[in-house]
Amino acid sequence: MYLKQDQKNMYLKLKTKKIKTNIMTNPIDDRIEAKLISKIAHYRLSIRTQFRNRHHAAWPELSYKLVIGDISNLKVWMRMAELLEPMKTKTPYTTYIAKELTK
């Protein structure tokens, strides 16, 4: 299986990061947290890739619509992370980890 460079970097960072010990013991809560992290990281990488390649598209207006759609989806997932997690810090944990994985 061939992975893109961004995906390889994210995989390596995920292996080397010390993930917090989750105070939630419910496996469903763990899956929700993992889903939030993966969706936020996916949309961040997608937006970055689309901005990098935006001038190489055959139809620039279509590329523009895809970027706008991914930005709105990213906003939705980040808002869901804010709603689901108790706000102890400025940013939720899922948003923080997704940003760390996609640096």
Domain range enclosing 66: 27-101
Distance CA 96, CA 88 (A): 13
In a domain, 44, yes or no: yes
In a domain, 16, yes or no: no
In a domain, 58, yes or no: yes
CA distances 70 to 23, 86, 89, Å, are 31, 26, 26
**In this predicted model, what pLDDT tens digit does every residue of 56-102 receive, in sequence order?**
877 777 788 888 999 999 999 988 888 887 766 677 788 888 888 88
Put simply, whether the predicted model's pTM sits higher than 0.85 gets the answer no
- Contact 69/52 with Cβ under 8 angstroms? no
In a domain, 90, yes or no: yes
**In this predicted model, what pLDDT tens digit does every residue of 21-47 receive, in sequence order?**
455 567 887 888 888 999 999 999 999
- When pLDDT is cut at 50, 70 and 90, the band that residue 19 belongs to is low
In a domain, 6, yes or no: no
Residue whose structure tokens are 């990213």:
74
Q: How many domains does the chain have?
A: 1
In a domain, 39, yes or no: yes
In a domain, 22, yes or no: no
Structure token digits, residue 55: 């001038």
